A and B are shown apart, each in its own frame.
Chain A
Amino acid sequence: MSLYGQAKVKNWRYKLKGNFHFTHSPSPIRNVDDSNHLLGITKPRHMIYLHSYGGEAPFFEALSQGKLLGTRCDNPDCEYQGTLYQPFRIHCPDCLARCTTVDMTDLAKTKGYIHTFMICERAGAFNTLDKPIKFVNIEFEGVSTILMSYLSVGDPKIGKRVIPIFKKFDPTYTITDLSWVVEGTTEEQLPHGFCF
Chain B
Amino acid sequence: MIKFTENQLKTPKFMRPVYLVTAGQSKFDRAIPEKKTEELCVDALSMAAELINLTPAELKGYIHSCYYGHFADHFGDQLLGEAVIHDRLGLDPLGNIGIKTGGATGGSTLWEAAKTVASGYSDCVLAMGWERMDEVPTDEGNFLISCAADKDWESPLGHIYTGYYAVMAQRYWQIFGKEEESFRKTLAEISVKHHEYARMNPFAQAPMKITVEDVLNSPVVAYPLRVLDCCLMSVGAACAIIADEKTAMEMAKNSNIKPLRIWVTSGSHTLRPADRRPMDIPLLPHETAEIYQDLEERFPGSDRYPGFSGFLGARMCVYYGYRMAGINDPTEDLDVIELHDAFTISDIQTYEDIGIRPYGQGRTYVESGDCYHTNPKTGQPGKLPSNLSGGLIGCMHAVGATGIMQTFEIANHLWGIWGDIHGDEKHWKAFRREKPADWTNLQVEGAKRGLAISHAGVGSHVTCTILMDPDHLLKADS
Contact = CB atoms under 8 A, between A and B. Distances in A.
Given A87-B153, A120-B221, A148 B162 contact: no
B256 interface: no
- Interface extent on B, as a size class? 35 or more
Interface in A145-191: 145-150, 158, 174-176
Contacts of A115: 171, 308
A148 B272 contact: yes
Given A147-B274, A148-B157, A93 B140 contact: no
Nearest to A174: B156
A39 interface: yes
Contact of A150 (B140, B157, B166, B272): B157
Contacts of B221: 120-122
A68 B276 CA distance: 20
B153 A118 contact: no
A146 B276 contact: yes
26 contacts: A39-B33, A39-B34, A87-B274, A87-B275, A117-B170, A119-B222, A120-B162, A121-B222, A122-B160, A122-B222, A123-B158, A124-B158, A124-B161, A125-B140, A126-B143, A127-B143, A128-B156, A133-B158, A135-B157, A135-B164, A137-B274, A148-B153, A148-B157, A150-B157, A175-B157, A176-B157
Interface string B223-237: 100000000000000
Contacts of B139: 123-125
Contacts of B219: 121
A1 B137 CA distance: 26
Interface of B: 1, 33-34, 77, 137, 139-146, 151-154, 156-164, 166-171, 174, 219-223, 272-277, 301, 308
5 cross-chain pairs, A with B, having the tightest CB-CB distances, nearest first: A124-B159, A124-B142, A124-B143, A116-B171, A118-B166
B142 A148 contact: no
Contacts of B77: 43
B156 A125 contact: no
Which of B1, B156, B223 has the most C-beta atoms of chain A within 10 angstroms of its own C-beta?
A: B156
Contacts of B276: 145-146
A40 B174 CA distance: 47
Contacts of A93: 1, 275
Given A39-B33, A53-B152, A145-B277, A123 B160 contact: yes
Given A120-B222, A146-B274, A125 B143 contact: yes
Nearest to A148: B274
A106 interface: no
B159 A123 contact: yes
A174 B151 CA distance: 10
A176 B153 contact: no
Nearest to A86: B274
A56 interface: yes
A126 B158 CA distance: 8
A131 B167 CA distance: 16
In this complex, the member of A31, A86, A144, A148 whose beta carbon has the largest number of chain B beta carbons within 10 angstroms is A148
Interface string A80-104: 0000001101000110000000000
A146 B152 CA distance: 16
Given A118-B170, A120-B160, A133-B163, A148 B154 contact: yes
Contact of A176 (B34, B140, B156): B156
Contacts of B272: 87, 148
A124 B146 contact: yes
A22 to B, nearest CB: 17
Nearest to A53: B152
A31 B35 CA distance: 13
B222 A175 contact: no
A145 B276 CA distance: 6
Given A121-B220, A125-B140, A175-B157, A116 B168 contact: yes
A131 to B, nearest CB: 8
Given A94-B1, A120-B166, A144 B174 contact: no
Contacts of B166: 118, 120, 135
Which of A40, A124, A131, A150 has the most B CB atoms < 10 Å from its CB? A124
